[in-house]
Structure 1
Amino acid sequence: MINVDAVLFSHDRSMGAGVVMRDHSGSCIACYGIGVPNVILSELTEAIAIRDLLFALCEGFQEVILGSDCLTVILRINSLSQDRSLCGPVIQDIKQLRASFTSCSIFHVRREQNVAAYLLARSCNQLECRVWRGVSPECIRETICMDIIP
């Protein structure tokens, strides 16, 4: 399961994106966080975060289930029609990227199910890329642990 989320930092016209990859038991496999400059539309931030599905491909995953709490962007991705909004080019990138996987499901999750990705995105207010493998970043460690307690 991959959870993604984005945060818009309107004060400096940038965004943070967080990608949290977990195994079937909920343990963290890898995380990816990035800050992106010159973004001012909240829907575009979410689409850019989902496009970071590329991270899963680079990590060698062929079957993915991705969840995002932005229903409008999920509906656009899963639509058969071409998106002509400002997010359209990013939505098209996601559709093409999805075809690179053996299996790729993209669906809506409630915000309560996306807390770790949100916290990671919120921590990415610096314009840099960070990757964690086999360990969760400090900013989401407690959330990850709470999620996997039976």
Structure 2
Amino acid sequence: MQNSKTVWEPPLESAFKLNFDAAIFSELNKTSVGVIIHNYKGEVMAAMSARGPTIHSSEEGKLLACRKAVEFAIDAGFSKLVLEGDNVNVMQAISSQEANISLLGNVVEDIKLLIRGLQWVSISHTRCSGNKVAHVLAQHAKTSIEDLYWIEDSPA
């Protein structure tokens, strides 16, 4: 499912891996987003733990988390990304060249528009075990009263 915007591969040192996840707390009618961005050495470059909107499905939560993650990465100045998430349907939807006409198509198309502005992107699915840090950050937002951001730092 690799999807590169260009035919060249960036040097390993210039691309950053972005993992994102959403957590759903149905008993509280809340969602949250976790994002971790690290370099090729595994050093944390940026992270986010933020509250999300009320949603109707897990897939909607993951798509909204993806959009928020990409917006965060762009705002933080990252332009070459390996974008990883643990929902195969979400990752396939955003890597597809076809227009998405599903109920969540507007969110998918927003994400595609955002990633078209990047210098380079690779989109891939990872197992839940490969997305643990983003998951923990999403869970952390459950009790937070404000969104938390770390730049060139990492959460405890």
TM-score of the two chains, using structure 1 as the length reference: 0.86
Q: 3-state DSSP class of the match of 1:20?
A: strand
Equivalent pairs, count: 138
- For 1:23 and 1:2, the matched residues in 2 are separated by 9
Any stretches of 5+ residues in structure 1 without a counterpart? 139-150
Tell me which residue corresponds to 1:129.
147
Residues in 2 aligned to 1:14 and 1:82: alpha-carbon distance in whole angstroms: 29
Write the distance in 2 (CA, Å) between the matches of 1:128 and 1:47.
Answer: 21
Q: Which of 38, 43, 46 is 2:54 aligned to?
A: 38
Which residue matches 1:17? 33
Consecutive aligned runs of 4 or more in structure 1 exceeding 2 Å deviation: none
Q: Distance in 2 between matches of 1:123 and 1:85?
A: 31
Identity %: 31
Give a deviation string over 1:15-62, Cα, whole Å, max 9, x none.
111110101110111101211132231001111111121111111111
Q: 1:63-74 counterparts in 2 under 5 A? A: 63-74=80-91
For 2:54 and 2:103, locate their aligned partners in 1 and report how far apart those are by CA, in whole Å.
14
Cα 1:103/1:44, change in 2 over 3 Å: same
SS of the residue 1:104 aligns to: strand
Q: Secondary structure at the match of 1:11?
A: coil
**Cα distance, 1:113 vs structure 2:** 0.7
Alpha-carbon distance in structure 2 between the residues aligned to 1:31 and 1:67: 14
Aligned equivalents of 1:29 and 1:89: distance in 2?
Answer: 30
Find the aligned partners of 2:64 and 2:18 in 1 and give their Cα distance: 15
Q: Residue 88 of structure 1 corresponds to which residue in structure 2?
A: 105
Match in the other structure for 1:109? 126
Normalising to structure 2: TM-score of the pair? 0.83
What displacement does 1:127 show? 5.9
RMSD: 1.3
